[in-house]
Structure 1
Amino acid sequence: MKELKWMLIPLLITMMVTTAFVHPDKREVTIKAGEQTLVVESRKHTVEEVLAEANIQISSQKQVSPALEEKTTNGMTIKVKDVFPVTLEVDGEKHRIYTAEPHVKALLDQVEVVLEKDDRIHPAPMNRLKPEMEIRITRVNTEPDNDVEEVPYQTITKYTADLEPGETRVVQEGSPGRQILQKTLVYHDGTLSGFTVDERHVLEEAQDKIIEKGKENVLITDSGELLHYKKVYTMEATAYDAGYHSTGKHPGHPQYGITRSGTRVRPGVVAVDPNVIPLGTKLYVESVNGGSNYGISSAEDTGGAIKGKRIDLYYESRSEALRFGRQPVKVYVLE
């Protein structure tokens, strides 16, 4: 019996091998073609053969995955999609490509185009592809660069009353400076498109050119301050204080010491005719006969006798007001 058993084993193996070649196993394959999904059982060995058996027409207007020459396996899914044309511009060349990919990134994967981190792509990678869409990739490269640059000097004009109007005088000659610029040069598709400045190192400071210039309507105060004015009047000036003889009001009156503008009187406040000098105007009052200048003042008050080119100067005491009396002054309307 043992001898018979060992004699049957080679015979069984031979039958199994023969059956395998004569009756190859069927494989279940899913085919997705457009809106159609087919599940077929096939003994065909390649994707192309399975599609032909299922009467699925293949042309240059179709995209098949896996590839036609791929071997079929049980449970495989074959996708057949209609392709459409797009244009891809990259590395100085334009390529017309037929694809069925859903978005730009998938197209780049299809044609094995690699994007570097600084490269630019338009439209963006996740934009959906459309027929006749144009996709452009701009290669962006950078390189460091150092450059010595001249720093221009500034010209500063100072106005002075020491010169005649329009006359100029150079007080300090200007000279340019120098600096090192540490830059990053930016290239688009190999062409220089711009740069960024990373650091500046000053080698030599620029020296400004300073010019003094005489200007009309400039005056210098007793303290040396330079003032610009737009108009000047010669006026008759008087003086007043807050008391009854000047204002008709005694201390305790609700309007005692209050100006027409609603402010409180103080040194530097003057009364004017608003038809000549508007209230709120800044002034400079200069003596004509060689007396002391009243100086910078503010037109905040009015007076019954102050009409036309007359001005009333406030002093804190009646004695000061009487001592001033009546005299001609120049009233500068300041800018």
Structure 2
Amino acid sequence: MKNVKSVLCSALVWTFVISTLSITFLGFVMYEATKASVQVTTDGEQQLVRTHADTIEGLLAELNVTLEPHDRLSHELSQPITYGMDIEYTQSKTINLAVGKEANRFHTTAATVGEFLNDQQLELKDRDYISHDMASPIKDGMKLEVKKAVQVTFNNGGEKQKIWTTASTVNDFLNKQNVTLDEMDQLNVSKTDKVHSDIPISITRIEKVKDVVEEEVEYTVITRKDDSIPKGEERIISDGEVGLVTKEYEVTITNGEETNRELVKETVERESQDQIVALGTKTEAPKAEPNHVTASADKAKASQEPAVTNVVATSTTSDTSTTPSRSSDSGAKTLYMKATAYSANCPGCSGITATGINLKENPDKKVIAVDPSVIPLGSRVWVEGYGYAVAGDTGGAIQGNKIDVFIPSKSEAGSFGHRTVQVKILE
């Protein structure tokens, strides 16, 4: 009997346990079955959530999400939960934006730098600078720098151009342009100065170079009276020889143009030799004795006959009278002028100068073209490296301190080039 009661008691216990478990299971199944399924996207990550929350606010509480003022939520907090609802939540991030000198802190839910700048309505050009790529993702605490380009007028040794730059200082600008300054170059502003669109940046390029020039020294013609030679006849006693001098100049070049020339050394390579010319003064004796009247007439004629004047001389002898061939030019006006060369054999050239000199018929004549307002036409001049000449021509391009020297050979005139020479106006 006891065994029967024991069995019955055990059966009742197990029946109770099983019933309790079944009820609990059914309750769990019923609880889960009544949950709503919604899709929640948090900062781009999607998840399927089953919830008994009645509203969006309750759902966020279940997910331990606290909504901050700058966060973005696709629905209102009070909106009821419905099955299959798609909810998007984006947490805001802080970003430090510096535009030039102005810096500000922003809260944003933008996903990329480009989206953030678009939200701020900040328009950028290709020439502007931005510290991050437009597609870079926004990170909390990001530091973003933007520099708006300005247009600067830049003069580099005479070459002017307008350049867009985001450089903040002059030194930064020069580095970006790969521009270096040599020791003698001059910058119109300080390297530490700020770059402004209304302040041009100018570099004056200065260099000093050595120029060695060989110059011929004309010989002097000395005429001496000789009574052993028939009157009026000339004989060369000693040939003249042109001398040679080497001059070394220190030339200052400013922005590619010669601005100063200083003679630092002069060496006589060959001394010039005077040309000695004998001028005959011998007269023939009369063959017959002239009558009184004829002799008187001859004597009167002789008294009216001018004395012979020597053409050139730079030295004298004890028994002759000499006259120098060129006057002293120590008091002459001296100019430094740009010189080129021309010939009379160019196409269409008449060879007749402005003062009427026929250069084709007188190829050995030394003539220069001048600006008459600087050197009067007809002036006698001395030109460094060319010699004594006459200012006998003009030219459309010859203005100011410029001259054009006449050289008979067209090829030599073409190879003359451009040079700065000393010019003395003698008379």
State the TM-score, normalizing by the size of structure 1. 0.35
Greater Cα radius of gyration, structure 1 or 2: 2
Q: Looking at both structures, which has the greater relative contact order when contacts are Cα pairs under 8 Å and sequence separation is at least 6?
A: 1
Is the strand fraction higher in 1 or 2?
1
